[in-house]
Amino acid sequence: MTTLPATPPGGWRARASAAAAPWRYHDFRIFLTARVLSAAGSAIAPLALSFAALDIGGTAAALGWVLAAGCLPQLLVALIGGIATDRYPRARILPGGNLALAALQTVATVLLLTNHASVPALAGLSAASGTVTAFFEPATKKTLPSLVAPGLLQQANALAQTAFNGIKILVPVIGGPLIALTGPGYAVAFDALTFLAAAMLLARLPETSTPARAEPGTAWEEFRDGWRAFRAHGWLMLWSLQGCVTVPLWLVGYVLLGPAYAKARLGGAAGYGLMAAGWTAGLVLGALACMVWSPRRLCPVAAAVSAAMALPMAAMAATAPLPVLLAVIVIAGAALNLSAVSFNTLLPRVIEEHRLGRVLSLNTAVQLVFLPPAYLLAGQAAARFGLTATFAVIAMVLLLCAVLPPCRADFRALTLVPVPPCPKEIAVPHPSLPPGTTRPSPVPGEEA
């Protein structure tokens, strides 16, 4: 049986106290604050752009082109970003990426407020934003494990998910009516300001030491080295392959067809804002659960998330009442975040740090490989066969994906086993101190 270390064992009271321990790290606080700020703007921007495309005469199929344009560059750029993350300091990548996104959202704001926006212009800006995001996203994911002690990684992941998903609960509820009253341009302007503020905060993070590694080769050699590390873990390949089906189908149903469903059945942007709030509430509940509990077996988690994500699609196919739809969306969000926190905690423990950026980017690229055609085909399918039939097909395929994880023996055997917490007197590397310096690992009730 494959076993990997999990969070330290202990009673519920001790675990609840340890859940907030990552907040005592100064660099983690900076990082998390920046992520929350950008999340606040990013929570409302997709909603604004979706209804902007619909308001200027676009259909669900036209919106599909806008969304596909945003994810198509990520397939290649994510891999380049992974190589850059493993080669260059994060101080060069994270602030620059947020500044670039602020500039792009500023351009979108000007186009929307001056009534010069068009579907091709929004698609072009979406493509540029997707390119920038794909480039620096591996650096974002790789940064968090370096900000806290290794034994607090799951709590840090869960705390981060809780914080920047929590801010998304209120933003869509407020943003939906706000977009209806003022138009999408002001919402996109708010997103630009949040990216600017996040860039200023991330520039304050100290540089980390580069782990010992061989002299880097060409970009192709670096990619091949990362691919070998990715391919060496069969369960990781299967997890990513499951994601390459479930992620596009969920995004097609929720991001592309969800606004069209809300406009037809729920009264427009305000209804979709409630759906988005329910989704984020589920994400927060899943993250809160991860702060005090770690699943021992990963196979049921990976299978359950696919089945849970099928529930909202089935509810929309059946035109279920709004309370029922919101309830199953909350369940899907909780299941997805439980899976995401488990994955983000597990991967840095099994992949060497100098390869982590490339492995993360490969996982992202595999999950996005079918997203552009899914956006394009789903918009056409909805226009031809109707929303009900499209949602029904998506729900059935998601349910079928739930049987994939049990197909591999190493996935079925993958287990997170608790390990004793680090004794106070044992020094562990501290990311905020110079290389080679250690200090005691933080314990609940003491400053890190």
Check which CATH number belongs to the domain holding 373 and give it. Answer: 1.20.1250.20
Q: How many separate domains does the chain show?
A: 1
| Predicted pLDDT at 128 | 81
Half-sphere CA count of 106, side-chain side, radius 13 A: 10
Q: Which tokens in the block code for residue 13?
A: 């009271």
Tens of pLDDT along the chain (448 residues) come to 444 444 444 555 555 566 678 888 889 999 989 988 887 776 666 667 666 666 666 566 666 666 666 666 666 777 788 888 787 777 678 888 889 989 988 998 888 888 887 777 877 777 787 788 778 888 888 888 888 887 788 888 888 877 777 776 666 666 667 676 777 778 788 888 889 999 999 988 887 554 545 555 677 788 888 889 888 888 888 888 888 899 889 988 888 888 889 888 888 777 887 888 888 788 888 888 887 777 777 778 888 888 899 999 999 999 999 999 999 999 999 998 888 888 887 888 788 888 888 888 888 888 878 877 887 788 788 888 888 999 999 999 999 988 888 888 888 877 765 544 443 333 333 444 333 433 333 333 333 3
Please check whether residue 216 lies inside any domain of the structure.
Answer: no
Please check whether residue 398 lies inside any domain of the structure.
Answer: yes
- The domain of 386 spans 3-207+221-419
CB-CB contact of 342 with 416 (8 Å):
yes
Angular region, 293: left φ>0, alpha ψ -120 to 50, beta rest: beta
Please check whether residue 402 lies inside any domain of the structure.
Answer: yes
Contacts of 169 (CB under 8 A, 6+ apart): 277, 280, 281, 284
Output the CA angle 185-187-192, nearest 5 degrees. Answer: 95
Q: Which tokens in the block code for residue 34?
A: 């920046």
Please check whether residue 106 lies inside any domain of the structure.
Answer: yes
Return d(Cα 254, Cα 21) in angstroms, integer: 34
CB-CB contact of 163 with 35 (8 Å):
yes
Q: Give the residue among 32, 19, 11 at the shortest CA–CA distance from 445.
A: 19
- Residue 125 CA to chain centroid, in angstroms? 20
Please check whether residue 115 lies inside any domain of the structure.
Answer: yes
Q: Any bridge partners for residue 440, and if so which?
A: 427
Please check whether residue 429 lies inside any domain of the structure.
Answer: no
Please check whether residue 386 lies inside any domain of the structure.
Answer: yes
The tens digit of pLDDT for each residue in 306-323 reads: 889 999 999 999 999 999
Please check whether residue 165 lies inside any domain of the structure.
Answer: yes
| Predicted pLDDT at 431 | 40
CB-CB contact of 187 with 276 (8 Å):
no
Question: What's the DSSP call for residue 151?
Answer: G
